[in-house]
Structures are given as structure tokens and as C-alpha cells.
Chains A and B, each alone.
Chain A
Amino acid sequence: MNQTRDHNMAATTGGVEDLAPADPREHIEPTEAERPLSLWFVTFLCVCFGWGGYYMQRYSADYGALSYDENAGLGGAKTNVVKQVDPYVLGRRLFESVCARCHQPDGQGVAGQYPPLVGSEWVLAPGPARLIRIVLDGLQGPITVKGVAYNNNMTPHRDALTDAQIAAVLTYLRTQKDWGHNAAPVTPEEVAAIRSKTKDRAALGAWTAAELLALPEHEPAP
């Protein structure tokens, strides 16, 4: 290395004068040492480019404007299929994502606002006919649940949930082990039957408790 020149450290104000003294001199000539590129670095570059080309061709679904599934172009197993889950688990998921927002995750509801589901005589009724109607077209006006009066309105879920989903969530509510429920489960066919029977109910608005109580517990099989 070239020889470093010692500067005479004049007494400075603790400033940085000594770092930038005034007398400039000609540049020093640099050496020609130039280290070649190492081999493993070149292989690393090739591996990256190779992988890039492969991945690009494999997952671009023919550059289609409307092809959103990266595996579409290959005819392989479609990745986008919902895994089948046993109804009780599906029911719990739906309860947690839909019903819990008002009836609360613990099923106790909000005092004076939203009735509880735990131990509710409406949920544990022998036949599911009234319960299915409430979920399909909603409920309005006064209703007493476990002896407490509520007056709120529940929104319809006719087009938000399919028959299978309604059956799953009601089965979950009626057979919820931690709440000690073990009423009869609900089948999608029962839901479908009532859904078609109450086709025009949506126009008439939500059910009232009185109307529901007038209905028989069990629906005669269609």
C-alpha cells in the first residue's frame, strides 16, 4: 500500500480542520489489481435465470386476461375446490362468522338487544320449522326468549346462505355440546322444502313471533 502521510495536528478548536487540511496535491496512481468473477457466482446467476424462465412458463396460464388461476393452463387438478368438512365443524364456522356478530361468540346475546341462543326454547324446539323460517326471512316485533322480552329485528339470510349452510349451522346450534344442547339435527332437505314453501315470504317482510307460534311444530313431509 502507498505510504500514508502524517499531517501535523495544529491545535484546532476540536473542529474537523485536521480532517480537511488546505494543501492539495496530485492524485496517487491506483494499481491495476482486478479480481475476476468467481465461478460459483456465475453458476448462481445461471440457476436464478433458469428457475425464472421455468416458473414464468409454468404459472402464467397463457397470459390470459381472464385467467386468474395460475394452474388453469395445465389441466392439472384444479386447486380451487373447497375441501368437504363434516357439517358440525362447518356449522361452527358459520356460527362464528355470521351468527356470533349479534348473538355473540358465547351464544348469550346482548341484554335487551339480541336474544341468547344458549338454552333458547326457539332453538331447541322439537321441530325445526319455525327456526328455519326465522333464519330464512328474519324476525321482527316483540318476542320472549327464556322469559325475557326482546324487540329487535333479525335480518333475512335467504340469499346469504345455501340450504346446506343453514342446515349445518342449525344442526350445530341444536347439538352444541358445550351448551348442553341435543335436539334433533336439521337436514338440507327440510330447509329446501321450507325455502320453496315460503318463496314469496321475502316480499311480506320478516316473521313475527305470533305468526310463528301459530304454525305447527312439525312440518308435514312434502
Chain B
Amino acid sequence: MSTGSPSILRSFSPAYTEDVAQQRALLAEIDTSCRGTLLLFFGAAVVWLLIGTVFGLTASLKLHWPNFLADTAWLTFGRVRPAHLNAVAFGFASNAALAVSLWLLCRLCRVPLMHAWVANIAGVAWNLGVAIGIAGILAGDSTGIEWLEIPGYASPLLFVSYALIAIWGVITFRFRRERRLYVSQWYLLAALFCFPWLYSVAQILLILEPVRGVVQAAVNWWFGHNVLGLWFTPIGIAAIYYFIPKVLGVPVYKYSLSLIGFWSLALFYNWNGMHHLVGGPLPAWLITVSIVASVMMTIPVVTVGLNHHFTMWGHFHKLKHSPVLRFMVFGGMSYTVTSLHGVLLSLRSVSEVTHFTHSTVAHAHTGMYAFFTMVMFGAIYYIVPRITQLAWPSARLIRIHFWASALGILLYIVPLAIGGTLQGMAMINPDVPFLAPDKYSVVTMTLPYLKVRSVSGFIILVGHLAFATSFVWIVARWLKAARHRQASPTTSHV
């Protein structure tokens, strides 16, 4: 479809700008140029979503049913939990993030995705790297560093394939025909730029040439929190900034607010890694600077929250009609909730209670699932019909998916946040024994909350199965249509 796309080498010559411009890029042409790559990424994302959900459910069940699958070494809790984390973070979330950011860049730069075969190879390499990494974790080769458990023999593959995709984003950006930079493009470029720096510094200073002592913890949580804040969050916010105005047909409420939101997020977010170590063996100033940065995060969160909310003002009734809008608004509001919860958790007096408890886990899932994953679902529901030129086969499946995921994650977060806080209060009260089978003790009082979480895990799994069925169904229809087109090329398609 995309004729005359410039070769890679020519893309580096500064003179090369005008002759591509005459060729009017139609939205449809841009979408079809990304189709192959996006279906690869979204397909991989759906597969990792199911695998990650099953791992998560297994880990959750093990927490209140210790003998469940306890006799095989590679299914012990200590391996299933990191496998869950990597399957959903580097499997589902990163695949979806890469696909959505590539598509958004193409759409916003008004230029088709050039040389898609390189992006496809990078996508296959990324998923291969994640698969080998998770197999390594289950086999017991985990590096033992949170968020970086993927062993050393798989992480270079991740880095190289990521770098290829990031280069593709920048080249597509280099040929943009839309001179103006929409706010989503700042966030996407920030994300595509930050991840390689974070991942390479973390791999070098923690796995190849480990630094000495607790400095490893500093680097680990500088990376850990920034992979959330400078890789997933910007892409989530970029998606919300694009899809809510696009679906509603209403421009963003106040563009100047988005300026403040972007720069304050860039400034404060990457300083707050050490709030994971409040009370830990690190100098007081390091923890204080992260607590200040965490509290200052209220500025970008309030700014972005208001911007989206007023964009939606007067249009909330349309949530009934648009699935994409539902996921986006749910994700946007969850972003505000998770960030304010995070600000609370980082204060020393609150962290004394909630540190080391399930309240942190509830906060993590509000951020990674209620905000980022729901936004990615919304983006997929918008993008796939446009790249396959087909509508979603069943509205019922979309409704099942939305309500199962939304209610499931609420049933996950609220009980676990409450249970975690109570667990924290019991843990800092030395008169409550840590473990006493028939008395009020820290371990026995958290059990009911852990069981409710497993129930919410099943509900979310139902939602994901509905989503996977929808996705497979629409891809099958597209393949049939494509084969039909090959069989009789005479019927013009555009």
C-alpha cells in the first residue's frame, strides 16, 4: 500500500523533507501500513495477558492455600510471582505499549510506518526474549532483583529489540508531515527515550557489574519506579490525551495545562524511586528527597486529571455508547486515584504502617491494571477496527470484558488496600503475635482479604477470556477477508 517509502539510509540525510510531502497520507493508508506490526504486537500482548493472568491467579491462590501445587520446584510461589510480574509487565503491557505508541506516532505524524519488517523482527525478538526470560525465572535462574528478574541471558535480547523499535518510532517521527507536536507525542517521545537509558543502567549496575551494597537497592528502585513512571505512565497518558478527544470529537480542555502536566511529571516522577525504601538502610536525605518528589507528584496528577475531566465535561452520557470511552475514563480516573494513594503511601508516618504490607500490592495493581491496562484495552478497541477495516464481532463480549475487568479490579484493590492497612497496623503493634493459629495475629487476620483477592482474580480472568475471544474472532474474520481478497483481486478494496 505505502508506495515510495524512503530507504533507511536516506532518512539520515537532513535534506530529505519535501518530496514525500506531496503524497497525501490518508488515515486509512497509515492504518494499513501499521497493520502487520500491530497485529503481531497485539496478538503477543493477548497471549501474555492470558499467561500472566493465570500466573497471577496461581500466586494469589498459593497465598492462602500453601499446599496448592507445592511439590514442583518451578511452580513454587517464589517463582510464579516474578513470572506473573514479568509476563504482564514486559509481556502484555510492553507489547501493547509499543504497538499503541507506534500507531499513535504514525497517526499524529501523518506518515505511514516505513519498513515495517524491521519492527516485526524486533517484535518477535522482544517476545522471544520475554519468553526465554520467564522460562529462566521458572527454572530458578532469577536474578533476585525486583522488576529485573529476567536472567542475564535474555535481557540483552530485550534491550536490542527495544532499541530497534525505539529507532523506528524516531524515524517515523523524523518524517512527520504534521509540524505541530500534539501532547501525546511529547509523552511518547519521552517514554521511547527513557526506557533504554533506564534498562541499560539497571542491567549494567545491577547484573553485569553490581555496585557495592545498598547502592544496588538505590539503583534497583530508581529503575523499578521509573519503569512505571517513565515508560508505562507516559504512554497511558498519551493514549488518554489522544483517545478521549478523538472519540468525543471535542478538543482537550486547556492545552496549556497539558504543558505543565508534562514537565512536572518529567521533573518529579523520576526522583521518587526511594519511597520504596522508607525506613530502610539508606541515608535519610535520599529517602527525604524521594518523599518530597512523591508528594510533588500531586501537581502533574491534578493537572492531567483536571484536563481530562473537563474535556469529558458534559459528555459523560456518551459512556453508554462507546466502549473505548469507558476504558479510557476508567483508566484516567484510576490514574488519579493510584497517584494520590501513592502520595499517601510515601509519607513517613503512613509508610510506617503500610510498608511491607499488601496495601503496596493494591497500589501497584491500581497503577498497572486499573490505569495502564484498562487504557491499553481501550486503545486496542479503537485501533483494531481501523487497521482491519472490520467492526468488533460481538458487543456482548466487549461488555462482559469491561464489567468483568472493572468490577474485578475494584474487588481486588479496595479489600486489599483495607486489608493491607489493617495488616500494617497489626504488624507495628508488638502485642499482636505475628503468627498464632487461633488468636488475632498478623498472618491470620490477612487471610480473608487474600481470599477475596483470589475471587477478584477469577472475575478478571473471565474478562480477559472474553477479550481474547473477541480478538481472535476479529483477526479470523480479517484473515478470511484477506484470503477472499487475494482470491478475487478485481473488487477494489479502499
Look across to chain B and name the residue whose beta carbon is closest to the beta carbon of A101.
B435
Look across to chain A and name the residue whose beta carbon is closest to the beta carbon of B430.
A93
Using Cβ atoms and an 8 Å threshold, which residues of chain B touch A93?
430-431
Convert B385-397 into 0s and 1s, putting 1 for each residue whose CB lies closer than 8 angstroms to a CB of A: 1100111000000
Q: Does B299 touch A at the CB level, under 8 Å?
A: yes
Look across to chain A and name the residue whose beta carbon is closest to the beta carbon of B249.
A4
Residue from B292, B389, B439 in contact with A16 in the complex, judged by beta carbons closer than 8 Å: B389
Using Cβ atoms and an 8 Å threshold, which residues of chain A touch B26?
22, 24
Most buried by A among B255, B303, B386, B433: B433
Convert A1-26 into 0s and 1s, putting 1 for each residue whose CB lies closer than 8 angstroms to a CB of B: 00000000000011111011010100
Using Cβ atoms and an 8 Å threshold, which residues of chain B touch A13?
390
Stretch at the interface among B85-93, B136-144, B279-287, B408-416: B279-287
Bound-state Cα–Cα, A128 to B385, Å: 81
Using Cβ atoms and an 8 Å threshold, which residues of chain B touch A89?
431
Bound-state Cα–Cα, A92 to B295, Å: 40
Using Cβ atoms and an 8 Å threshold, which residues of chain A touch B256?
34-35, 37
A32 CB to closest chain B CB, in angstroms? 12
Q: Does A64 touch B at the CB level, under 8 Å?
A: yes
Q: Given A22-B494, A96-B436, A105-B439, is A48 in contact with B299 using a C-beta cutoff of 8 Å?
A: yes
Q: Across the interface, do A24 and B24 meet the contact criterion of CB distance under 8 Å?
A: yes
Q: Does B108 touch A at the CB level, under 8 Å?
A: no
Q: Does B302 touch A at the CB level, under 8 Å?
A: yes
Convert A101-145 into 0s and 1s, putting 1 for each residue whose CB lies closer than 8 angstroms to a CB of B: 000011000000000000000000000000000000000000000
Using Cβ atoms and an 8 Å threshold, which residues of chain A touch B494?
22
Range of interface residues on chain A? Answer: 35 or more
Most buried by B among A13, A59, A106: A59
We find that the number of chain B residues with CB closer than 8 angstroms to chain A is 44
Q: Does B27 touch A at the CB level, under 8 Å?
A: yes
Q: Does B204 touch A at the CB level, under 8 Å?
A: no
A9 CB to closest chain B CB, in angstroms? 14
B392 CB to closest chain A CB, in angstroms? 10
Q: Across the interface, do A55 and B389 meet the contact criterion of CB distance under 8 Å?
A: no
Q: Across the interface, do B299 and A45 meet the contact criterion of CB distance under 8 Å?
A: yes
Q: Does B288 touch A at the CB level, under 8 Å?
A: yes
Q: Across the interface, do A100 and B433 meet the contact criterion of CB distance under 8 Å?
A: yes
Using Cβ atoms and an 8 Å threshold, which residues of chain B touch A65?
283
Convert B465-494 into 0s and 1s, putting 1 for each residue whose CB lies closer than 8 angstroms to a CB of A: 000000000000000000000000000001
Q: Does B40 touch A at the CB level, under 8 Å?
A: no
Q: Given A17-B389, A48-B299, is A70 in contact with B287 using a C-beta cutoff of 8 Å?
A: yes
Bound-state Cα–Cα, A56 to B386, Å: 50
Q: Across the interface, do A52 and B391 meet the contact criterion of CB distance under 8 Å?
A: no
Look across to chain B and name the residue whose beta carbon is closest to the beta carbon of A58.
B288
Look across to chain B and name the residue whose beta carbon is closest to the beta carbon of A14.
B391
Bound-state Cα–Cα, A59 to B390, Å: 59
Q: Given A15-B389, A22-B494, A60-B289, is A105 in contact with B281 using a C-beta cutoff of 8 Å?
A: no
Using Cβ atoms and an 8 Å threshold, which residues of chain B touch A69?
284
Using Cβ atoms and an 8 Å threshold, which residues of chain A touch B289?
56, 60
Look across to chain A and name the residue whose beta carbon is closest to the beta carbon of B348.
A70
Using Cβ atoms and an 8 Å threshold, which residues of chain A touch B299?
44-45, 48
Q: Across the interface, do B27 and A44 meet the contact criterion of CB distance under 8 Å?
A: no
Interface residues of A in 67-91 (CB under 8 A from B): 67-70, 72, 89
Bound-state Cα–Cα, A34 to B298, Å: 24
Using Cβ atoms and an 8 Å threshold, which residues of chain A touch B295?
48, 51-52, 55
9 cross-chain CB contacts under 8 A: A13-B390, A15-B390, A19-B386, A20-B28, A24-B24, A56-B292, A60-B285, A60-B289, A67-B283
